Amino acid sequence: MKYIISLLVISLFVLNTMGGEITKTYYFSDYEVARIGEYQLISFDGCMNTGHTGEPAMPWYAVKLLLPPGEKAVSFVVNGAREEAIPGSYLLYPQQASRPVSMGVSGEFNIDQAVYKAGTAYPENMFGSISTQYMNGHSIALLNICPLTYTPLSGKLSYYREITVTIKTSSTDKSASALSMLSNSASVQNRLHGFVQNPEMLTEYPNRGNKTG
């Protein structure tokens, strides 16, 4: 009997530390081309054009996925599918340094010539770094992805019509501590429904709606 109980405890521990997996596919279709002098800016619905100062301003989409209770993102994979070329040749607008309005316009135009003369695909990675944040005890993975690929030297553009994000999770002390402060009040539920892209995951969380949020 002790042997069976020990095996049961070990099995539960392994299941708990293995964590889970969240997968979500994002779709990109209609894009807009805006002209800024001799440059162009490619925009996708739901994306924000940004980048490092002097480098091409690219459309980045903010991934916001609710994770299993008491867990955090430990690794992720991003896969693009259905790549489609955008006809024509482009000189994408370089990201300019942001300045407080009180400082006025600097008059300096930033462009990284090394990047714009490169014959390799930009950006090097279609994703940024991942982080786990917490909202009223709920674990949320944050990650930026870019559907657009640009080859500066040739001016060629293409984009992925589908991008699938897979996140592996694991339980941590910090996530468990956040879960202990969980609130599922109506106001918290409403905020989460308007923020995360997989609100169906809310059903995985225990019901503790009596706490304020």
pLDDT at position 101 is 47
CA distance 131 to 75: 10
Position 213 in a domain: no
CA 78 to chain centroid: 10
Q: Which pLDDT tens digit goes with each residue over 34-46?
A: 999 999 999 999 9
Per residue of the chain (213 residues), give pLDDT as tens.
433 333 333 333 333 445 799 999 999 999 999 999 999 999 999 999 999 999 999 999 999 999 999 999 999 999 999 999 999 999 999 999 986 644 445 678 999 999 999 999 999 999 999 999 999 999 999 999 999 999 999 999 999 999 999 999 999 999 999 999 999 999 999 999 999 999 999 999 998 755 544
**Residue 96 CA from chain centroid, whole number:** 22
Domain annotation covers residue 8: no
Count of structural domains within the chain: 1
Whether the Cβ atoms of residue 28 and residue 43 lie closer than 8 Å to each other: no
Examine residue 13 and state whether it is found in any structural domain, yes or no: no
Closest CA to 116 of 86, 155, 85: 155
Burial class (CB in 10 A: 0-12, 13-18, 19+), 67: buried
d(CA 154, CA 157): 9
- In single-letter form, the type of residue at position 135 comes to M
Q: What is the CATH number of the domain that holds 120?
A: 2.60.40.3800
Residue 45: domain span: 29-204
Report the pLDDT value the prediction gives residue 18, as an integer from 0 to 100. Answer: 55
Say if 45 falls within a structural domain.
yes
Whether 142 is in a domain gets the answer yes
d(CA 190, CA 196): 10
Q: What pLDDT shows up at residue 100?
A: 60
- What global pTM score does this model have? 0.86
Burial of 141 (0-12, 13-18, 19+ CB in 10 A): buried
Is 79 inside any structural domain? yes
Asked if the structure places residue 10 within a domain, the reply is no
Tokens of 2: 């002790």
Asked whether residue 175 is assigned to any structural domain, the reply reads yes
Strands 131-135 and 156-171, bridge-based pairing: unpaired
Beta bridge partners of 21: 168
